Amino acid sequence: MTDAEPTRAAPAATAPAATAPAATADGSFRIRLARSGGVLTVPPDLSILEVLRRHGLHVPSSCEAGICSSCQTGLLAGIADHRDYVLDADDQGSAIMVCVSRARSEELTLDV
């Protein structure tokens, strides 16, 4: 054993999902649709999934409670407010469960 044992970096500071700040004062944020094109606003009273549905975009879903992974969607840019129970820290930078999660940045770019 040497003195040069690898050290682990401290985990990045992330706020718990339930207490993460909203992207804007009223809780709304934008989603940019990388494949479909366009930008939609997600108001505080609707999920990303519901906004996508209302614009005719189909994303598979089942539980709509953040536990089944059916609605997992690629996250290409932006900072998500992850409120699901399935994504681990390694996956949170590149995926989002659109049924429950929201944004900590003013805009998310989704692989939709």
What is the binding site for ligand FES (CB under 6 A)?
61-64, 66-71, 84, 97, 99
Name the residue among 42, 22, 76, 20 with its Cα closest to residue 96: 76
User: Between 20 and 98, whose beta carbon lies closer to ligand FES?
Assistant: 98
Q: How far apart are CA 80 and CA 17, in angstroms?
A: 9
We find the least distance from the C-beta atom of residue 36 to ligand FES, in angstroms, to be: 19
Beta-carbon-side half-sphere exposure of residue 108 (alpha carbons within 13 Å)? 30
What gap in Å lies between CA 78 and CA 90, rounded to an integer? 16
At closest approach, how far in Å is the CB of 86 from ligand FES?
A: 6
Nearest to 86 by CA among 72, 73, 102: 72
Of 80 and 99, CB closest to ligand FES: 99
Instruction: Please identify, using beta-carbon distances, which residue of 20 and 47 lies nearer to ligand FES.
Output: 47
From the CB of 59, what's the least distance to ligand FES, in Å? 9
Judged by CB, which is closer to ligand FES: 33, or 67? 67
